[in-house]
Amino acid sequence: MRTEGQSPTGESPVPPQPKSDVRVKLVESEEEWSACKALRVRVFVQEQGVPLEEEFDEHDASALHAVALADGRVVGTGRLYRLAPGLHQIGRMAVEPGLRRRGIGGRVLEFLEECARRQGASQVILHAQTYVLAFYLRHGYVAEGKPFMEVGIQHVRMAKPLVAGGRVA
């Protein structure tokens, strides 16, 4: 699990945070990482039926993991990893069931996009569960191709160009 580092430009990979009751940041401790994993198990394994052995994969070790904290408790998470020069993938986006539709997922997504931008990415992709397609469309993602099955759940590949200073990065 990677939690920090410098971008190719020497800029901090962590974007500044707006004031809010929810703070989004990179995982910085084993306690946060454990809480992140526990949230993923609750959402993906218990709620959605994803097999535990498929929830955690080889990308977890090298990914940047973000957490949304409310009152010191992990209430949202997502991860980011590099696929190729200029191309990063966001995934494992999860929010506590009772706290959904309050902007937490959007904050985590925007945080991870900014981390990708600071690492030199010009585009991010993700595999969106089709029932949350509208969420990603509202955040500027475009569906690419036909829906497909992943871990028994229908997904669609989506992409978003990253803009820096009003231009595509």
| Beta carbons within 8 Å of 120's beta carbon, 6+ residues apart | 7, 8, 9, 85, 86, 169
Q: How high is the pLDDT of residue 116?
A: 96
* E-state strands within 19-152: 22-26, 64-70, 73-84, 87-95, 123-129, 142-150
CATH 3.40.190.80 is held by the domain 22-164? no
Cβ contact 127:155 at 8 Å: yes
- Tens digits of per-residue pLDDT, 109-153? 999 999 999 999 999 999 999 999 999 999 999 999 999 999 999
DSSP 3-state of 157: strand
Q: Which residues pair with 8 in a beta bridge?
A: none
Domain boundaries, the chain: 22-164
First to last CA, the chain: 26
| Residue ranges for the chain with pLDDT beneath 70 | 1-20, 164-169
Q: What is the pLDDT of residue 163?
A: 77
User: In one letter, which amino acid is 130?
Assistant: T
CB atoms within 10 A of CB 154: 13
pLDDT score recorded for residue 70: 92
Query: Residue 21's pLDDT is what?
Result: 87
